[in-house]
Structure 1
Amino acid sequence: MTSSAKPGPRERLLLTAQELTYAQGVGVGVDALLKGAGVARRSLYEHFGGKDGLIAEVLRRSTAEDVERYRATMDAAGADPRARLLAVVDRLGRIAAGPDFHGCRYLAADLALTDPDHPGHEVTRAYRRTLHGLFEDEFAALGHVRPGSAADQLLLLVDGLLAAGATRPGSDPAAAARELAGHLIDACPAGAPG
């Protein structure tokens, strides 16, 4: 008979903070985090140096998971760059239409963390750079003469889709986002003036 070990205080804090900061935002109170994780305040400071460190680590952990989901979505769509990019928009549209969708955790964190030096900001910037790189690679594979610019535009479209999904219940931003993404993907074929 095997029994799985209960996660330690660090892991429980991360799991609880990942869930609560998504559902309630990064402004969720320390007491709620500690209670949800079932740990003493000392654990927060020992493992993360305080709430700011915990928030940054949750964003890092979420980044790794989300980037892997982007890659898996693109890989499942096959080798065609157009299909890979549209698969991302389609998947995000389904997520944004879900009943438990609370918006983009990275955009929400950037808006809520008013201190420009908060360590969470570097994590969200790194996340966006990674997504930009994924998108830019696909646009380059399509033969776009300005793949970086096209990636900028798709990233803006993704942010808009996720923001609209969170702030306009009952709307269908996914359909509009997919149409715009299609135009963007097809707009600048190889050799066209940029």
Structure 2
Amino acid sequence: MTEKFTLRDILVYTLLGLIVLFFTYLYYPFEIGSIIKDSKDYSDLTVLLLIPISYLIGHILMSLDDVIFNGILVRFFPKEKPLKNKYWKFYNFFFFGYRNIGIRNKEEITNETFLKTCDKLITENKYEKAEYYQVMSDLFKGIVLIIFISIVFDIYLWRFEFWKLILIFLIWYRAKMFSAYYVRMIKRNI
């Protein structure tokens, strides 16, 4: 395993899994507290299992993200110049404005051109900085999804927590910045 994969695994999947567990605790504090109390006698084993469980939860979350955004929502885009219409501009901004694909749509960079440029940079060993921005973008996109799911759950429970709206806006903005840095770095080499 290389350092790059280890960094992505820790920063994206494991950390997102831990954040999911934290948000789960916000909704089920007594149940989670009971599990923690019951596992005190096996604290070493619990900590040892917490990392792979978090890692797996992080992968499941990013799979959900991929299904929603790259599998379902992206299919609604028309093939011909989608961002000439105000509706499609709003659709792109709302669902994809903080994602690489949304920024590429806005910049009118085709997927094929973008991927060929990424492949070229990888073979020339010039992709490292762009990869950092991509990893950070993935982390913040995952956090946006977690907070969004939490807000939907709050609506279902007839609750409202203003701090989550502030947090989702700030995290969304940060995800957008990292995605923009990533796309710009690749665009310079097209």
TM range (shorter): 0.3 to 0.5
TM-score (norm 2): 0.34
Higher helix share: 2
Using CA pairs below 8 Å that are at least 6 residues apart, which structure has the higher relative contact order? 2
